[in-house]
Structure 1
Amino acid sequence: MEPMAGNAWFYIRDHHQQGPVGLFELKKMFEQGVLSGETFIWTKEMKCWQMAKSHPYFSEDFFLTDYAEQPQENLAGQWKEQQKDTYPYGRPFVRYIARLFDLSLFSLFLITLVSIFSPKFVVASSPIFIFILSLILYILVEAIILSIFGNTLGKSILNARIRTMTGEPINFIMALKRSILVTAVGMGFGIPLINLICSYFSYFDLRKNGKSTWDRQIGTVVLYGQVHVSRILFVSIFPIALFIAGIFI
């Protein structure tokens, strides 16, 4: 068997992290010129994204002759631009606001549902209590959504996808474990102050390693693509507007 032939491969194209594809399909894209030696690639055996031409396996089979025949160019600027597409620090801001958006949307649904059957409960409850309750209940809801649709609405809007290390959509058990860890380790179950501390350490952990603690433990990977600023504003404003509405209503 060829080295890492059984792995799922991911690659950067048009500023999007794409995949998974098998090694055969990846090789065909190189041979047909769809991808080049400057294309960033990644598989679970690799610690980080790197250019295909710098990977020992691909440099021997595809790029050694081509680059030997061409004059050497200064690709420093191009390399820097392409490295932005790999998002080596995990895009913590995108992940955080996507989750807040999903939680806010679920909270709105939950409040509406409870208001129908028990209006007094909603009136008597503080916004913080409702947020913590929504956060805990969302653990199961998110796991169901991820196992059925493969993604949440917030992540879809912000062009992020959750996959296993082999490139497959995550199943219910894996999604449930991930949701529990995100809620506990990443958000401290929404408890004031503890939530801030957990978010602080999770942010710097993601910035340092490129993967969150829960993704490393469970074996999941988050793929990112470029996002228009209008989508970021929409996803950011929705939770804020909902919170303000909860205070004044």
Structure 2
Amino acid sequence: MTASMTEWNTTQLDAETMKADCPWRRFFARSLDLLICSTINGLFMGAILRINLLDRSFLLSLVDIYMSFGILFLLEPLLLSRFGTTPGKWILGISLSKIDGGNLSYGEGFSRLCYVFWRGYGFQIPIYNLVRLYKSYALCREEGEMSWDTETLYHVQPNRWYRVIGFIAAYGVVMCISVGASFWGSSPLHVGAITQQEFVENYNQDAKFLSKNRHKKDALIFTEGNNIYTLSESPFFEDDLTAIFIDKDIPAKMEITETDGIVTALTITHEVPASADSISTYEQPRLLSIRNLLYAQKGFHRGFLPPQTTFTLTDNGKTVTANPVVMMVDHPVESFTGTLEGWEMTQTISYDREAYSYWSPLEMIQKNEEGPEATQPYTMTFSLKKVN
């Protein structure tokens, strides 16, 4: 983009120059501009405020759209007044100016965008916005001039293949940044060799990040001397039945081991007598521990594809190659062990598999109605331990 409009042949005010009957180019240009503004909003909300943008309600998603338009209202008039174009328009060969060839003022660009938001997008009101988009498309195709184009001169360069390639590449890059911003908010607050307090902050932040619009259960406690610490309740599926099924009188416990002030081991234990009708498996606290202790270590943090290792299933000796989170998700009530990046991850689970069944959607073990009486208690020990 250049500060001057002389390259766009502003002196020849012929019909092709003044009219811009290319609705799809204009639509895709603005779509890229809006995506850039949405990404800016996502970077702020995901990377800084650490809000889970992948788990938003319809109303909150609508708020995100309006925030993206708010950023567009700040940036587009500034870009039009300075350069006469925007990133999306520039890539697709479109520029704007006043009839005399000068750039629009900031106020003129702002006023123009108000008309676009009203007449073009219908204030982004669901359904109505689709009606306005279609009508704008039809009007642009027939007349080449919109209500917001009054006293505005369009400069449309010939369409070329490299513009299409450039648009696709730019859209892909911005989309990757947008997705990255969404995942960044779930990365540990503290990385490297972390203290117990830093692990607790990691855990609580991640639990908060994942728990939006979901039911909560299974608060863990761990002790240090005579002090008892409570970690945030972990997220769970929204199902009122869990309040009836889960026996909170026997919570799982966590023990944290520090060496020279640095966490070197974490163990979650849970034991329930054979007489229980249902047992919480505490899958989410185990996953949160992996994400906020193991993935906080050097070599793990902020990685979208954590390294894999070989885990051995204790009960049958089979081996499985997976990253720790996938292993935990795929084998929540099985015993296994594996070592990765100097950390050993071990899980030992024992219960009467004839008397109980694992209910994956509810993350619990439920007694079979017509099964035999349980002959052994449920015991679970999960540990992450630094081995070198």
TM bracket, shorter-chain basis: 0.5 to 0.7
Counterpart of 2:156 (choices 203, 215, 224) is: 224
Equivalent positions of 1:1-249 (< 5 A) are: 18-21=8-11, 42=13, 48-49=15-16, 90-120=21-51, 122=53, 125-126=56-57, 127-216=61-150, 219-235=151-167, 238=171, 242=175, 245=179
Moved more, 103-112 or 139-148: 139-148
Give, in angstroms, the shift of residue 136 of structure 1: 3.2
Kept in 2, the 8 Å contact 1:163–1:169? The answer is: yes
1:106-145 C-alpha deviation (Å, 9 max, x unpaired): 2112211222331126455354442232023312221122
1:63-94 C-alpha deviation (Å, 9 max, x unpaired): xxxxxxxxxxxxxxxxxxxxxxx696621110
TM-score normalised by L of structure 2? 0.39
Superposed CA RMSD: 3.3
Unpaired runs of 5+ in structure 2?
1-6, 184-388
SS of the counterpart of 2:10?
Answer: strand
Q: Aligned partners of 1:87 and 1:233: how far apart in 2?
A: 26
Task: Say which structure is richer in strand.
Answer: 2
Higher CA-based Rg:
2
Sequence identity, in percent?
A: 24
Kept in 1, the 8 Å contact 2:18–2:154? The answer is: no
Number of equivalenced pairs: 173
Kept in 1, the 8 Å contact 2:33–2:72? The answer is: no
Partner letter of residue 42 of structure 1?
Answer: L
Q: Aligned partners of 1:133 and 1:163: how far apart in 2?
A: 27
Counterpart position of 1:83: none
Kept in 2, the 8 Å contact 1:150–1:162? The answer is: yes
1:27-55 C-alpha deviation (Å, 9 max, x unpaired): xxxxxxxxxxxxxx535xxxx35xxxxxx
SS of the counterpart of 1:162?
Answer: strand
Partner letter of residue 19 of structure 1?
Answer: N
Task: Say which structure is richer in helix.
Answer: 1
CA pair 224-202 structure 1, distance change in 2 beyond 3 A: same
Give, in angstroms, the shift of residue 231 of structure 1: 2.3
SS of the counterpart of 1:221?
Answer: strand
Q: Aligned partners of 2:46 and 2:55: how far apart in 1?
A: 11
Counterpart position of 1:57: none
Kept in 2, the 8 Å contact 1:163–1:222? The answer is: yes
Unpaired runs of 5+ in structure 1?
1-16, 22-40, 50-85
CA pair 176-88 structure 1, distance change in 2 beyond 3 A: closer
TM-score normalised by L of structure 1? 0.59
Kept in 2, the 8 Å contact 1:106–1:138? The answer is: yes
Structure scoring higher RCO (CA < 8 A, sep ≥ 6) equals: 1
Q: Aligned partners of 1:236 and 1:191: how far apart in 2?
A: 28
Counterpart position of 2:278: none
SS of the counterpart of 2:96?
Answer: strand
Kept in 2, the 8 Å contact 1:143–1:175? The answer is: yes
1:194-247 C-alpha deviation (Å, 9 max, x unpaired): 11111111111112222111102xx1121101132342254257279839959x
Give, in angstroms, the shift of residue 96 of structure 1: 0.5
Partner letter of residue 20 of structure 1?
Answer: T
Kept in 2, the 8 Å contact 1:106–1:134? The answer is: yes
Give, in angstroms, the shift of residue 177 of structure 1: 0.4
